[in-house]
Amino acid sequence: MRIEQVTVHHCALPLVRPFRTSFFTEYVKEVLLLEVETDLGVGWGECVAAPDPLYSHEFNDAVMLVWREHLVPRLIGRDLTAEEVPELLGPVRGHPMARGALELALLDAQLRATGQSFADYLGSAHDRIPCGVSTGIPADDSIDTLIAEVDGYVAEGYRRVKLKIQPGWDIEPTRVIRERYPDIPLQVDANQAYSRADIEHLCALDEFDLLLIEQPIHEEDYLGHKLLAKRMRTPVCLDESVLSADNAESLIDYGACEIVNIKAGRVGGYLSAKAIHDVAVARGVPVWCGGMVETGIGRAANIALASLPGFTLPGDTSSSSRFFSLDVTEPFVMDPDGMMTVPTGPGLGVTPVPDVLAELTTSREELVT
């Protein structure tokens, strides 16, 4: 396969409601979509970086620079397979989000040419997966607003609810939702908002019978997570700390986590995500598929990933309507029983709707001159 052109579509998708976490509030999803033209056909990828380096050190302007100056030039003018991309890009340090989007687009093109679905390629074990949903911290800091949001998701049929928490917004909202829904699988996500000094406070969450607490302490504080895991009954899950299969293996064996959240777009792509899955399965550690407010391109890939056998917990694989009134692809719609059908078409099984893509695109740039 030879790359002929790489086009970046800068898109802006308004959110149906602000999505607030412990580190920022998102009102519009500003996303970079990659369209890679090859001699075999076209493939699509999505970069999960944000406009600003708040969740991660990667951000959109830096992604554009590294694509333009370092990553794409290493792939131009050679015959390659998508599986060779990680090695070809190996000399460039870091930038896993940029790498992952490029790898995904080439996998999509390659699989479309052979007629194989992405799920089948990865090793799918299920044709439908359970859907979870992530709630943000209400913009008005109102418990009533949170209740109304969760009520709506439960009525839609979601099988798991995740609450975002931060200091000052943790024990009470969790208590209220657990009392209102005593049987629903419930988990919380702190996005690194706490420290070792908060271990005793976080243990107060144990009374709510949570599936897990996600990334409560800074991503580099492995010891802090190990200490929390020893003290807390609620299983500790790591997200931002997980960077690769080797890194995940070390974290698990060290005792820093009991569950792993795999975000393919953040760990360098779906080949890396599959390797992390395999490491966790070999150690009997559950994994689930986290979301990063993806469009239908990234959502299709995540749903395929979440159909692998080790994904035993519901992921952030919600309907498109959870975030967008208008998606770049045909929308993903959860079934009434809280399940999502895994795409079976060639490659990702979805492509942008041309008129919608044009409407949501703010600018385009071709990287091959």
Q: Which residues are annotated as catalytic? A: 164, 263
Strands of the sheet with 41-47, listed across from one edge:
41-47, 25-38, 3-20, 361-366
Q: Do residues 37 and 9 lie in contact, with contact meaning Cβ atoms separated by under 8 Å?
A: no
> How far apart are the C-alpha atoms of 159 and 256, rounded to whole Å?
27
Q: Residue written as tokens 């709630």?
A: 135
Other Cβ atoms within 10 Å of 50 Cβ, number: 21
Could you give the C-alpha distances from 27 to 21, 138, 147, in angstroms and in order?
A: 12, 13, 21
Q: Which two tokens stand for residue 18?
A: 């602000």
Question: What residues contact 331, with CB distance under 8 A and at least 6 apart?
Answer: 296, 319, 320, 321, 324
Q: What are 194's strand-pairing partners?
A: 217
HSE (side-chain half, CA atoms, 13 Å) at 228: 34
Residue showing tokens 């099984």: 349
C-alpha to C-alpha distance for 211 and 206, rounded to whole angstroms:
10
CA distance 224 to 258: 14
Residue 260 is which amino acid?
Answer: V
CA gap 255, 224 in Å, rounded: 11
Which of 86, 115, 113 is CA-nearest to residue 100? 86
